[in-house]
Chains A and B, each alone.
Chain A
Amino acid sequence: MSGALALAPAQAGPVIPDFGRGDECIRTNGNFCFNWFVDNFDERFLPRLGEHVKMTAIAIAIGFVIAFAAALLAHRHPRFELPFANLSSLFYTIPSIAFFQIMVPITGIGWTSIIIALVSYTLLILFRNILTGLREVPDEVKEAAEGMGLTRRQTLVRVELPLAVPAIMAGVRVATVTTISLATIAAFITPLGLGAPIFNAIQSGANTEFVAASLLAIALALLADAVIVLAQRAVSPWARARRRA
């Protein structure tokens, strides 16, 4: 390894980080010092948590609009499916830690670079799920809609999209937890989001900061997952009714 990573060595050495005056736990660099976490929550963690939620929400919103438009296009004209699927697959294979760095010379250090990278990762899953949801609507249903005199647009809005909701929401769910995970890495270029205390702790070796920020990121992802499941049930009550039947 030859200490190839500029960030890591601090963790390896017997460095006693300067945590200021602290209790026994902090002075011995315990794994999780609850008091320190509570004392520092407002200053060190809450703003980062807010940024994390914000970058995830913006990325999902923009990604959804793009993927939705692309999926509608591919639904109507199947020849557009493969190019978009391949392009979004390509984005998906770029390591996030590289993507953020590569964006820096193009859009600078900051929100724009972070959002562009995060949006790129949402596209594949959202696109595939929206398109699959639309395609799995049974032919009989579409024929019935046509037989009732609905136009193509009415069929899409009133029949196909509502039936695709479970698949679309499943995509939103996976895309959201993925984005929360990738957003931690954005802090590699600039200290925004919950990755900031993590990368900071990698340099200082402060265990509590590591563990606290990581646990917050995990809690955020699990919470978001649960919230989306509830939202999914709320917007597709018929699925639950069918399940109960």
Chain B
Amino acid sequence: MSDLIQFFGDNAGLLFDKTLAHLGISGLAMAVALVLALPLGVVLGHLHRGSFLAINISNVFRALPSLALISISLALLGLSLINVEVALVALAIPPILTNAYTAVDGVDPDAVEAARGMGMTERQVLGGVELPLAWPLIFAGIRTASVYVVATAPLAAIAGGGGLGDIILNQPTYRLVGVIAATIVVVVLAFAVDALLGFAQRAVTPRGLHMPRELQTIVPAGTDTAVTVETAATAERT
């Protein structure tokens, strides 16, 4: 235990640098995943169409082992940051896509109809009614994805990517105490990112929309699982 405290003391600068690199790698992956998955999920949900597409894209990406993706791209592209980003983006897409689709698809049809009845355009319906109502669930997906990405980013070190994985994968140099210290930083980081996004989630949630209790742990029920989407698909087919 005192070893651990000493490691933190002696290597504060190193840990800080690696943490920044870690956040950079994770942030880039999240940005790419958001650009790819969020619009797709939102648009499909708005059209109430393509649940099959949304489910299957998510399922396929979820089944791709991160290490396998890293090593295939290592073989094809050689050492670069792209190796690990590919794997992290693949990891982040399913919860974001699934939740965005489910959230927008599941907005109360009465509210949407009322908005159309008031003469709103499709764009206004989506931006003014569906998205605000869907935000809590969409955000839950983004939170889950962020936790996955932060916790998996140490694999970046395999592809020479930097971040806290450089310490975690190098037990010969940093000893077990270093591995444990870096692991603690990753865990704290994951919870901090989750908490921060939790605040953001509350900030963008319209007043009057109370947040379901289920949405408040790190991988909320229904996030990144096929349950809710399965139900949506059932509803679509009937």
Contact = CB atoms under 8 A, between A and B. Distances in A.
Interface of A: 1, 4-8, 11-12, 31, 85-86, 89-90, 92-99, 101-102, 105, 124-125, 128-129, 131-133, 166-167, 170-171, 173-174, 177-178, 180-181, 184-185, 188, 194-195, 198, 201-202, 207, 210-211, 213-215, 217-218, 221-222, 224-225, 239, 242-243, 245
B64 A98 contact: no
Interface string B67-81: 111011011101100
Contacts of A211: 71-72, 75
Contacts of B78: 11
B162 interface: yes
B191 interface: yes
A89 B167 CA distance: 23
The 3 closest A-B pairs by CB, nearest first: A214-B68, A181-B65, A93-B190
A92 B219 contact: yes
Interface of B: 59-60, 62-69, 71-72, 74-76, 78-79, 147, 150-155, 157-160, 162, 165-173, 176, 179-180, 182-183, 186-187, 190-191, 214, 217-222, 224-227, 230, 234, 237-238
A102 B179 contact: yes
A93 B224 contact: no
Tell me the interface secondary structure of chain A in the complex: helix
A164 to B, nearest CB: 10
B173 A94 contact: no
Given A198-B68, A225-B63, A173 B226 contact: yes
B74 A101 contact: no
B68 A102 contact: no
B71 A198 contact: yes
Nearest to A124: B219
Contacts of A93: 147, 150-151, 186-187, 190-191, 218
B99 to A, nearest CB: 14
B76 A217 contact: no
A98 B68 contact: no
A245 B62 contact: no
25 contacts: A5-B160, A6-B169, A31-B75, A89-B218, A92-B147, A95-B186, A99-B183, A128-B217, A129-B221, A132-B221, A170-B227, A177-B62, A184-B66, A185-B155, A198-B68, A201-B71, A202-B158, A211-B71, A211-B75, A213-B71, A214-B67, A218-B68, A225-B63, A239-B234, A243-B237
A217 B226 CA distance: 22
A210 to B, nearest CB: 4
Contacts of B168: 95, 97-98, 101
Contacts of B180: 98, 102
Contacts of A99: 183
Nearest to A8: B160
A119 B116 CA distance: 49
A95 B183 contact: yes
A174 B148 CA distance: 13
A94 B234 contact: no
A6 B170 contact: yes
Nearest to A183: B65
A124 B154 CA distance: 21
Contacts of B154: 95, 97-98
Given A93-B187, A225-B63, A243-B238, A170 B226 contact: yes
B141 to A, nearest CB: 14
Nearest to A198: B71
A5 B164 CA distance: 12
Contacts of B218: 89, 92-93, 124
A5 B172 contact: no
Given A8-B79, A128-B221, 13 more contacts: A1-B162, A12-B160, A95-B183, A97-B165, A102-B179, A131-B221, A181-B63, A198-B68, A202-B71, A218-B64, A221-B63, A224-B63, A225-B63
Contacts of B66: 181, 184
